């Protein structure tokens, strides 16, 4: 049975299998020409290649640190979305009452009002996660075939259902038409929420102090939405990402020209004591080159896939899973039956979406 750790290794090898094949072809081709065709001129000194490798390692490390910083910031933002969502739902359930109402509402009406507000908040989550999944011109996830295969395996909800179809379950017909006509649908939902709270305050169903508290929660949601949109709409500088990508491939191309002659020298020395083994030792340079190339390229690709933490890759913030978890919490707070509440989104290859 494969453990979780072994699954990760297997997934990583599958994710990079095409590039690994390219590395093997490059190293095998150069070694074949060097050994069998006698192209001894296919060599470069090891020192400059090592210097290039050091520079590439620094660039890739910088890229990975920057990418992880963006992912971690996005995760903190959506952690804030979880906390504020629970607080806002608690306020909606506990602060909407007849305590200060001139004309008390029925229990059924109060329950309907609470449900409307909480469902509208789930609609805000739905609109926000769909906005975060919208592709941008600088995002690169879809440009790689293995990434496309990965997305098909994950079944990301935002790539299957439209935001209009999903909002239909959480908004009234009138509100649905208002929101779907807006460009920024998540902001439109919060505006509706604020207007509704004002109406409830005017009816006395929300005490003025409670109204201010709930409006502050809406302000916090606006702040978190704006921070999430900032990460989505401001890319990692493309000059850094592009240079890192091409520098890695330059290093991959030069690596066999430096490694193969070095292995050939060692093989010549081994021939005196182990003639059969030493004669073929130069071919051991192929897996060595492939391994080094794979390490450099995989680290660069991990950083590249983490630059945009809402695309839907294995390293991204699982906003679909987070949103579903919030929906479950809020609908349980309303006292709904378990068979009416959606189930948590399943993990695919131990990855949340």
Task: Give the tens place of pLDDT for each residue, 216-230.
Answer: 999 999 999 999 999
Quote the pLDDT of residue 32.
94
> Residue 6 — pLDDT band, cuts 50, 70, 90?
low
Sign of CA pseudo-dihedral 131, 143, 145, 65: negative
Give SS3 for 168.
coil
Q: Residue 284 pLDDT more than 80?
A: yes
Mean pLDDT of 287-306: 91
Quote the pLDDT of residue 11.
74
Cβ atoms 30, 288 nearer than 8 A: no
> Residue 153 — pLDDT band, cuts 50, 70, 90?
confident
Mean per-residue pLDDT over the chain, rounded = 90
Residues 6+ away with beta carbon under 8 Å from 113: 96, 105, 200, 205
Domain ranges of the chain: 1-42+238-306, 77-236+318-353
Q: Residue 2 pLDDT more than 50?
A: no
Quote the pLDDT of residue 136.
87
Mean pLDDT of 118-133: 97
Mean pLDDT of 228-255: 89
> Residue 118 — pLDDT band, cuts 50, 70, 90?
very high
What percentage of the chain carries pLDDT values higher than 70? Answer: 97
Residues 6+ away with beta carbon under 8 Å from 265: none
3-state secondary structure 194-238: HHHHHHHHHHCCECHHHHHHHHHHHHHHHHHHHHHHHHHHCCCCH
Mean pLDDT of 74-86: 97
Mean pLDDT of 297-313: 86
Mean pLDDT of 29-35: 93
Quote the pLDDT of residue 159.
87
Cβ atoms 310, 74 nearer than 8 A: yes
Quote the pLDDT of residue 54.
93
Largest Cα–Cα separation, the chain: 103
- Rounded distance, CA 144 to CA 138, Å? 14
Question: How many other CB atoms are there within 10 angstroms of residue 265's CB atom?
Answer: 12
Mean pLDDT of 244-255: 93
- Rounded distance, CA 214 to CA 199, Å? 13
- What tens digit of pLDDT does each residue of 59-74 get? 999 999 998 999 999 9
Question: How many other CB atoms are there within 10 angstroms of residue 45's CB atom?
Answer: 10
């Amino acid at each position: 049975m494969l453990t979780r750790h072994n699954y990760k290794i297997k997934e990583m090898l599958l994710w990079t299998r095409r590039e690994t094949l390219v590395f093997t072809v490059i190293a095998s081709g150069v070694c074949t020409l060097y050994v069998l065709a006698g192209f001894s001129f296919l060599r470069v000194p090891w020192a400059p290649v090592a210097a290039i490798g050091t520079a590439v390692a620094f660039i890739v490390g910088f890229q990975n640190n920057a990418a992880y910083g963006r992912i971690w910031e996005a995760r903190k933002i959506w952690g804030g979305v979880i906390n504020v969502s629970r607080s806002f739902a608690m306020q909606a359930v506990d602060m909407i009452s007849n305590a200060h109402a001139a004309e008390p509402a029925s229990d059924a009406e109060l329950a309907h009002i609470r449900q409307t507000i909480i469902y509208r908040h789930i609609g805000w989550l739905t609109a926000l996660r769909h906005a975060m999944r919208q592709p941008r011109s600088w995002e690169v996830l879809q440009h790689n075939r293995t990434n496309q295969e990965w997305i098909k395996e994950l079944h990301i909800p935002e790539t299957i259902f439209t935001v209009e179809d999903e909002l239909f379950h959480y908004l009234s017909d009138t509100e649905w038409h208002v929101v779907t006509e807006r460009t920024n649908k998540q902001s439109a939902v919060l505006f509706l929420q604020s207007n509704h709270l004002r109406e409830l305050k005017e009816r006395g169903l929300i005490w003025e102090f409670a109204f201010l508290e709930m409006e502050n929660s809406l302000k916090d949601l606006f702040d978190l939405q704006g921070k999430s949109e900032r990460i989505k709409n401001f890319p990692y500088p493309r000059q850094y990402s592009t240079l890192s990508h091409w520098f890695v491939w330059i290093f991959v191309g030069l690596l066999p020209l430096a490694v193969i002659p070095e292995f050939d020298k060692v093989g010549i020395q081994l021939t005196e004591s182990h003639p059969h083994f030493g004669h073929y030792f130069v071919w051991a340079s192929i897996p060595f080159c492939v391994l080094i190339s794979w390490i450099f390229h995989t680290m660069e690709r991990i950083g590249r896939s983490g630059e945009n933490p809402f695309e839907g890759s294995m390293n991204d913030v699982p906003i679909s899973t987070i949103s579903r978890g919030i929906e479950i919490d809020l609908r349980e707070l309303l006292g709904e039956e378990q068979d009416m509440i959606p189930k948590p989104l399943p993990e695919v290859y131990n990855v949340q979406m």
